[in-house]
Structures are given as C-alpha cells and as structure tokens.
A and B are shown apart, each in its own frame.
Chain A
Amino acid sequence: VAAGDAVPWQVVDHYENPRNVGSLDRNAKNVGTGLVGAPACGDVMKLQVEVDENGRIVDARFKTFGCGSAIASSSLATEWVKGKTVDEALKIRNVDIAKELCLPPVKLHCSMLAEDAIKAALADYKLKQDPNKEESEKE
C-alpha cells in the first residue's frame, strides 16, 4: 500500500471512536431496517432508524461487514440522519459522504452503498406505516 493509499484519519476515527454501532428493535413499528450489499462482495451494511410520531428520525444504528471506508460511510450516515425528517434524510447523497470522509476514487462505492442503506431503511419504515398503500402503488 503506497503512501497515497494511507487510510484518511477521518475513516480511522469512525472505527477508533465508534458512534451508533448497534441495533434497534426491528419489530418495532417505528423502526426501519435496511440491509444492503452481499458477503460475496465484501460489503454488507445494516442501517436502522427510529422515527417519532412527527416523522423525524430520533435514533439510528448501524452494523457493517466491510473495509474501513465502508464502516466510516455507514457510521457517518447514522450521524447525519439523526434529527432529519424522513424526506430530508432521503436527500443525503453519496458524494457528500465521500467528501466528508476524503474517500479516494477507489472507495467511492462504499459511500454509494451507505446511501443505499439509508434509502432501504427509510423504505422499510414507510412500508411498515402503510403496507396497504404500498400494495396499491405497486399495482
């Protein structure tokens, strides 16, 4: 690994000082769980959000199987969604995550997976709130 590949301190920080590692109760109605990626690809992220009655995200947790950049991306995602409404959180973009963590080009896919994890968690939450509406939308 050449000097240019040295892990950015922002990435290392998320591992050394973890924030929001853990799990919420996936059976709770106001918790949305997103599971994205695949073990065969070396990247799996589980991201959970707890939403209050006003549609605001009050808590978030993550667990990740992946490189340092993947861990940092999902960790940062949980930090950013807290305090946002569901619609605001859907606007979080992978490029912002990558910029904040100084991810090199070869690691950009980690930030993309984190964005997918957020969307998957929120989609799961929405589905739980109104499964019938989802069904009719599909048709």
Chain B
Amino acid sequence: AVPPLPRRLTAARPPSLPPFLPPSLPAGRSGDGGGALRPLYMDVQATTPLDPRVLDSMLPYLTACYGNPHSRTHAYGWESEAAMEKARRQVADLIGADSREIIFTSGATESNNMAIKGVARFYKSKKKHIITTQTEHKCVLDSCRSLETEGFRVTYLPVKKNGLIDLKELEAAFQPDTSLVSVMTVNNEIGVKQPIHDIGEICRARKVFFHTDAAQAIGKIPVDVNDMKIDLMSISGHKIYGPKGVGAIYVRRRPRVRLEPLQSGGGQERGLRSGTVPTPLAVGLGAACEVAQQEMEYDHKRISQLAQRLITKIMSEVPDVVMNGDREHRYPGCINLSFAYVEGESLLMALKDVALSSGSACTSASLEPSYVLRAIGTDEDLAHSSIRFGIGRFTTEEEVDYTVQKCIQHVKRLRDMSPLWEMVQDGIDLKSIKWTQH
C-alpha cells in the first residue's frame, strides 16, 4: 500500500482549466478556425477524442502525482508505479492476458516494429521467413521491407475481392523456416475483420508465432489472446478514446515468445522496451481499455444501428455506390464507399462541415491511390472515388443524418459536373474510350 503524501509535499492547486468541451460539437461554418462551431468528426479510424473518464483518470498524474514510476526510493515513484501497474492490469484484462505480458510502448507503430523486427531478428539463425498480407498498415509493410534488406524473405499474401485472406493460400505459404505470421484483426481503411481464430489455429499447429495488429479492434470487438491463439498483439491508445503517444504490445509467456528489443537503455519493461514509462499516458491507456470493456456491447449495438442507417439511406438515394470490403465480416463503425463518377477529394471539399477521409490519390502525399483498395481489386477510378465514414462512441444520430443528407446532395451536384456521369447517362461505355495519357 502506498503511504499518503505529507501535506507540505502536495503541489499547489493547478490554474483553472478552460471549460471542458464535449468531444462532438454541432456543425456549422468553420471558416474562422477558432470559432465555437467545428466540423462533425466522422474520421474515428484516424484518431478518437479522449473519453472524459480517461481524461479524469490521467489528470492527477499530469499535475500533482508526477513521479517517475521507476524511482524505487520515494513515495512519488511508488505512487506512479502503482498507477502504471494498475493500467497494465486493465490492458491485460481487456484481452484475456496476464499483466506480465503487457509492455507499454509509444503506440501501435512501435509495437508493430517490435513484434516483426524483434521476433525475426531473435530467431534469425534458424528462421528467415515471414508471412504477412498486402492490406496491412504501412508500419507493418515497411518493417517487412526493412527486414528484406537484412536478408529475410517475406510473403505478402494477396486478399480476395472482399478483403479477407484465403486460408488455403496462407497454409500453402508456410515454409520450414517461417518464424512469424502477421495479419491485422480489423482493417483501418475498409473495416474488414480477418478470420483470426482460424489463423491462430493454423499457426499454432505449425508452431509459428502469430502476431496481429489489433489497433482498430480492441475495445470494439471481443479479442481474447488465448481463445484466438495470438502470440503477439499491437495496441494503440488513440484509437480507443485514449491518449495519443501511447500503446502496448502483448508478448505471450506460455509458450514463450522471445524478441530482440529495438530500444536499448535501462532495461525497463522486462528489458524489451527501455525508457521511462509515461505514467499519465499509460494510466490513460489503461482507463481507455477498462471503459471500452464496459461499453463494448452497448457501443457495438449503437454503432451497428447508425452504420446501417447511413448505408441504407445513402444507397437507397444514390445509384452507383459500391461498398468496399466484405459486407458481413467487418467492424460496423468503418464504412468505405466508392461513389462512381465523383472524385473523392472533391466530395470531401464539398462536405466541408464533416471531417472525413478518402482513398483518393489527391488526398495522399504520394499521389497514389489507396493500396488497400488496389489489393481488393477495386478499379482505379473507383479507388479515386472512395470515402471512409467512421462512426464511434460519441457519434450521434443527428450527425449521421446530417452527413448522409450533405453527402447525397453533393454527390448529385458533383455528378452534374462530371463528364463521366454525362457519358454514362448517354449510354457510352467508359471502358471503350481511349483516354489521353499523362
């Protein structure tokens, strides 16, 4: 038990904070930037607002309780360590793991780097092959690419038109020296859910470690590391209404997964990730996990209803709309739609009161359209026409209705401005046209 702090050591009262703003505010003109009205937030796959309960849990550690959790010699340290360990338990509880299997990191990108590079390098004397998919997050793909320059071989499994991997292809991809399989649980662009149970079984039978990037899945759908035979898992704080800058990696103890640390230092986090654990952020992650566990069922039901509302309304009013990714095996809160004959960025500009994102090339720094949409076989022009709608814990029915109404209105308007729509209305087959090269 942590002894109470003597009165004279407590910090002065912090200055009064600005009034707390609820995560969502009504839409309106946002031209002045600093005004009271801000766009509706429908981009939860990119990031989420802090749940007020998470902020509450973090505040003491951002104000009076500022000790380093690794300071063993005084009450500031003990208090901070206790909070960190409580957070670790909260994360572990959400995924059915033991506290000792949770390592705090700076986010899912770091966790993915640790899992892939760490495991590959540890076992490199005997094992040189890794299997992953073409629709993984960039940090997974880039980690694999980096390992290829170190002499590893990587198989990037294709996905079917619905975004799911073919289990037979996975089985065929194993080689005698495969050390790791990495498949994300829920895709951040199109929302599809991979068959994690089945993949876990296949990997366990072949004694190959199974890593999953669960950043978009945990706290939203039930994930159990033992049930699903997961050996490593990446967790992100800011995708589950927790703070930015923190995440975690689950590393199985039985059977033991070894990994070569990326970050050297004082040996914190079982030597796997040196560096002072940022107590306020870890506390926030823990609280976010606990809140998510409580709210999961209710959130899922509500978000499913809102998602169905959005899809039904749009698709009944607007022709030639394609939903990208499997209709059934998906997380409902991530909806990726392609509006044929309308370019994505122009639609985002038109929907200026709503924060959304697109798979269009124009919205990416590299000017290349989304590789996830390309992997599921989407025609390039439809890839340019895609919009991702994110529905989350704080999304209201009014926000969905407003978004739907504006979307329908502006799709119609942009189609009236579109030469492709005009040609299609005139009965021309766009595939028969010889377009000018650029």
Taking Cβ atoms with an 8 Å cutoff, the residues of A that contact B are: 1, 7, 11-12, 15, 18, 21, 23, 35-46, 63-71, 106, 109, 113, 116, 120
Q: CB-CB < 8 A to A23: which residues of B?
A: 422
Please measure, in the bound complex, the distance between the C-alpha atom of A69 and the C-alpha atom of B348, giving whole angstroms. 12
**B349 is contacted by which of A18, A38, A63, A68 (Cβ under 8 Å)?**
A68
Q: Report B349-398 residues with CB < 8 Å from chain A CB.
A: 349-350, 352, 360-363, 365, 367, 369, 379-381, 384
Check B422–A42 contact: CB distance below 8 A: no
**B418 is contacted by which of A12, A15, A65 (Cβ under 8 Å)?**
A65
Interface string of B66-100 (1 = CB under 8 A from A): 00000000000000000000000000000000000
Interface string of B260-275 (1 = CB under 8 A from A): 0000000000000000
Check A106–B346 contact: CB distance below 8 A: no
Q: How far is the CB of A18 from chain B (nearest CB, A)?
A: 7
Number of interface residues of B (CB under 8 A): 31
Q: CB-CB < 8 A to B341: which residues of A?
A: 65
Q: CB-CB < 8 A to A67: which residues of B?
A: 343, 345-346, 349, 360, 362
Taking Cβ atoms with an 8 Å cutoff, the residues of B that contact A are: 341-343, 345-346, 349-350, 352, 360-363, 365, 367, 369, 379-381, 384, 416-422, 430, 435-438
Please measure, in the bound complex, the distance between the C-alpha atom of A35 and the C-alpha atom of B361, giving whole angstroms. 21
Q: CB-CB < 8 A to A15: which residues of B?
A: 346, 349-350
Q: CB-CB < 8 A to B419: which residues of A?
A: 35, 44-46, 63-65
* Interface residues of chain A: helix, strand, loop or mixed (majority): mixed
Check A37–B345 contact: CB distance below 8 A: no
Check A38–B361 contact: CB distance below 8 A: no
Check B343–A7 contact: CB distance below 8 A: no
Q: Can you list 13 contacts pairing A with B, beta carbon distance less than 8 Å?
A: A7-B349, A11-B349, A35-B436, A36-B436, A39-B380, A39-B430, A41-B384, A42-B384, A63-B418, A63-B422, A66-B343, A67-B362, A120-B436
Q: CB-CB < 8 A to A12: which residues of B?
A: 349, 352
Q: CB-CB < 8 A to B360: which residues of A?
A: 42, 67
Please measure, in the bound complex, the distance between the C-alpha atom of A12 and the C-alpha atom of B341, giving whole angstroms. 20
Check A39–B346 contact: CB distance below 8 A: no
Please measure, in the bound complex, the distance between the C-alpha atom of A101 and the C-alpha atom of B437, giving whole angstroms. 25
Check A42–B381 contact: CB distance below 8 A: yes
Please measure, in the bound complex, the distance between the C-alpha atom of A36 and the C-alpha atom of B306, giving whole angstroms. 40
With A36-B436, A43-B438 given, name 5 new contacts (CB 8 A).
Answer: A39-B430, A42-B369, A65-B342, A65-B419, A70-B346
Check A71–B346 contact: CB distance below 8 A: yes
Please measure, in the bound complex, the distance between the C-alpha atom of A1 and the C-alpha atom of B420, giving whole angstroms. 27
Q: CB-CB < 8 A to B421: which residues of A?
A: 65
Check B437–A38 contact: CB distance below 8 A: yes
**B438 is contacted by which of A37, A68, A120 (Cβ under 8 Å)?**
A37
